[in-house]
Chains A and B, each alone.
Chain A
Amino acid sequence: GAGVSQSPSNKVTEKGKDVELRCDPISGHTALYWYRQSLGQGLEFLIYFQGNSAPDKSGLPSDRFSAERTGGSVSTLTIQRTQQEDSAVYLCASSQRPGQANTEAFFGQGTRLTVV
């Protein structure tokens, strides 16, 4: 597709259940980011994938959070044993040629996760 695609757009889950959020980046973009946006909290960095390099996981808030990127394209963010504080909008972005000029990130529409 032409843009970053995320699914589902909305997810309601029960506390303690696991959830998987999917991101399909723009074709050819080597960098992929996951951010979390909570009400009034701005954009919290979670994880960054760049090509075949080891991902930068420094933003993951706990070991309940994990992400993978298969074949350098689609990424899945998994949250295990969800808690109410995990409720937020999860944003995915992709960019090309990180570290060089013209490396703006393009965002998906986000997945709104509600843990009840």
Chain B
Amino acid sequence: AQSVSQHNHHVILSEAASLELGCNYSYGGTVNLFWYVQYPGQHLQLLLKYFSGDPLVKGIKGFEAEFIKSKFSFNLRKPSVQWSDTAEYFCAVNARYSSASKIIFGSGTRLSIRP
């Protein structure tokens, strides 16, 4: 069965700091990987996704994530955060080639940016 671990429960940064949020998954086969974001008072929306190809994927608002297959990781990064990045971030995984495979989410990382 798939599972997702997000090691940072709450991250506090100052504006312009660099960000890296960790995500590890457990599944031996081919996977689809996602990062979702939930801004305060809003619904979950897709930040970026990886299906195949270049393991470095770029998403909206300057975010990027790198898929490292050997480490079963899909860490989210942003070189310089803004106050508006304050939100909760969720990593998710879905096994490829199985219609019975549901999308599993990590427990989330709350990001607080000090202005």
User: Which A residues have a C-beta under 8 Å from some C-beta of B?
Assistant: 31, 33, 35, 41-43, 45, 48, 50-51, 53, 56, 91, 93, 95, 98-110
A46 nearest CB across to chain B (Å): 10
Q: Tell me which of A43, A48, A98 contacts B105 (CB under 8 A).
A: A43
Whether A108 contacts B101 by the Cβ 8 Å rule is no
Whether A56 contacts B43 by the Cβ 8 Å rule is no
Most chain A beta-carbon contacts within 10 A, residue among B36, B44, B92, B98: B44
- Given the complex, which residues of B lie within 8 Å of A108, measured CB to CB? 43
Q: Can you sample 23 A-B contacts with CB below 8 Å?
A: A33-B103, A43-B90, A43-B107, A45-B102, A45-B105, A50-B99, A50-B100, A51-B99, A98-B99, A98-B101, A99-B94, A99-B99, A99-B100, A100-B97, A103-B32, A103-B94, A103-B103, A104-B34, A104-B49, A107-B36, A107-B43, A107-B44, A108-B43
Whether A56 contacts B100 by the Cβ 8 Å rule is yes
Residues of B contacting A: mostly: loop
